[in-house]
Amino acid sequence: MPKIVDHNQRREELAQAAWRVIKQGGIEAATVRKVAEEAGMSLGSLRHYFETQSELIAFSMDLVSNRVTKRIRQTPLTGNIRTDCIMLAAQVLPLDEERRIEGEVWLAMTAKSLADPSLRILFLEVHDSLLRLFEQIVCRCWGQPYNRPLSPVAAAEARALHALIDGLAVHLLFELEGLSPETAMALVERQLDRIIGMGDQ
């Protein structure tokens, strides 16, 4: 046998090379040749880890959601509801370079998911679990147990929070009108305070 290689690690390396190519030239620049070159390996070598281009793209998209999920799971909770909710929401926004490239790739994948049924499935799964997260946040803000189906009001607040954060994420990527990470976070906190305020009544 030859040098034994961690297949999954190699696939992640290639996927991150794909990220960089996508960041540079958009999803249509993510050809197998360009990704292989960016990863510093030959075309045949890439094909040893991904049989088709679709596999590579799907894995690259999957890696984004895995990274975000992992970060959410590892977020240290303080017990302070407001602080914890803010910290969780922050994991989805492109606030630093690490989360920025994830966001750019995710946006590219989102557009591709519209016309690609198999990517669409993955996209919907991710957004469903994201909505669950926001539902939990709303329930926690109101000191309610998290039982689905939620009350109409809680469901509405979760959906609105979800949409607000998704919208802010895109606006941050484009630095719309000089929108800064701090301003974006302030808007999220503002909305969270409104939600918390509703629970007191």
Partner DNA sequence: TTTTTTATAATACAACTGTGCTAATATGCG
Partner DNA sequence: CGCATATTAGCACAGTTGTATTATAAAAAA
**Where do contacts with a second copy occur on this chain (CB under 8 A)?**
22-29, 104, 107-108, 110-116, 120, 123-124, 127-128, 131, 156, 159-160, 162-168, 170-171, 173-174, 176-177, 179, 183, 186-187, 190-191, 194
H helix runs in 50-116, sequence order: 53-74, 81-90, 97-115
Residue 123 Cβ vs DNA, minimum distance, rounded to whole Å: 21
Q: Which of 42, 44, 43, 35 is nearest to 12 (CA)?
A: 35
Q: Compare residues 31 and 69 and give the one whose CB is closer to DNA.
A: 31
Separation in Å, CA 34 to CA 44, 86, 90, 119: 13, 38, 32, 21
Determine contact, residues 173/104, Cβ cutoff 8 Å. Answer: yes
Q: Of 8, 24, 26, 33, which lies in the binding site for DNA, with binding defined by CB under 7 A?
A: 33
Determine contact, residues 94/176, Cβ cutoff 8 Å. Answer: no
- 3 forms part of the interface with DNA (CB under 7 A): yes
Residue 172 Cβ vs a second copy, minimum distance, rounded to whole Å: 9
Residues that bind DNA (CB under 7 A): 1-5, 7, 10, 29-34, 41-45, 47-49, 51-54
